Structure formats: structure tokens, C-alpha cells
Amino acid sequence: DADVTQTPRNRITKTGKRIMLECSQTKGHDRMYWYRQDPGLGLRLIYYSFDVKDINKGEISDGYSVSRQAQAKFSLSLESAIPNQTALYFCAAAQGRGGTQYFGPGTRLTVL
């Protein structure tokens, strides 16, 4: 277990607002990920980071940006939120190439 925490757990915002979702992990795992979950579509990868200086786009990165502030912290930003970004967002952490991904509890984001 990587003890992954996410803040906030719930957020309601308006179209056009800038939003930041934060993720922290306590085990010092090197790899961190951001996913979004939509009904029937499972989890889709937004961005991932293999270490502090390595950031990569995932399947659905448009409209999002990330920052790896430290080994333990990986933030997801929506520069100008839109309603179709309403979803459940999960952060995950893993250690090394073969490491299992451990997920945080999720952030439910609603964009009105």
C-alpha cells in the first residue's frame, strides 16, 4: 500500500474556473499517475510521472496539466474547467517498473 491521499474529496465549480487537485503519497514511490473515471468507460490515464523530472501525457491529457512538486506530490490542474470534465479523478502511485499501482480514494469533481 502506498498510502495515497487526495484533496479535496469533493469539489463543485463553475465553467471557466481554474481547479487544482492534489495528491500525496507516503511511501516514496517514484511513479505517480492521474486517471479519470466516467461511467462505463473505466479509468483513463490523463498524465503520469516516473520521477520528479519526468512528466508524460496519457490517453486524455487535453485540458489538463500536472506538476510533480516533489517525489511525494503530484497535482492535476484544470486551467479552465468545462462541464465534460465532470468525473471522478484518481491518483495512483507505484514503485519501479514492475510495481503495482495503488490508488487514492478519489476526488469527485462537478463542473457546472
Partner 1 sequence: DQQVKQNSPSLSVQEGRISILNCDYTNSMFDYFLWYKKYPAEGPTFLISISSIKDKNEDGRFTVFLNKSAKHLSLHIVPSQPGDSAVYFCAASEGAGNMLTFGGGTRLMVKP
Binding site for partner 1 (CB under 8 A): 4, 35, 40-45, 48, 58, 90, 92, 94, 96-106
Q: Minimum Å distance from CB 104 to partner 1?
A: 5
Nearer to partner 1, 15 or 100 (CB): 100
Q: Which is nearer to partner 1, 67 or 103 (CB)?
A: 103
Of the pair 17, 57, the CB lying nearest partner 1 is at 57
- Spatial neighbors of 4 by CB under 8 A, at least 6 apart, are 23, 24, 25, 91, 92, 93, 102, 103, 104, 105
Least distance from partner 1 to the Cβ atom of residue 7, Å:
14
Considering only CA atoms, which of 16, 71, 37 is closest in space to residue 46?
37
Q: Which helix (H) or strand (E) is 108 found in, with range?
A: strand 107-111
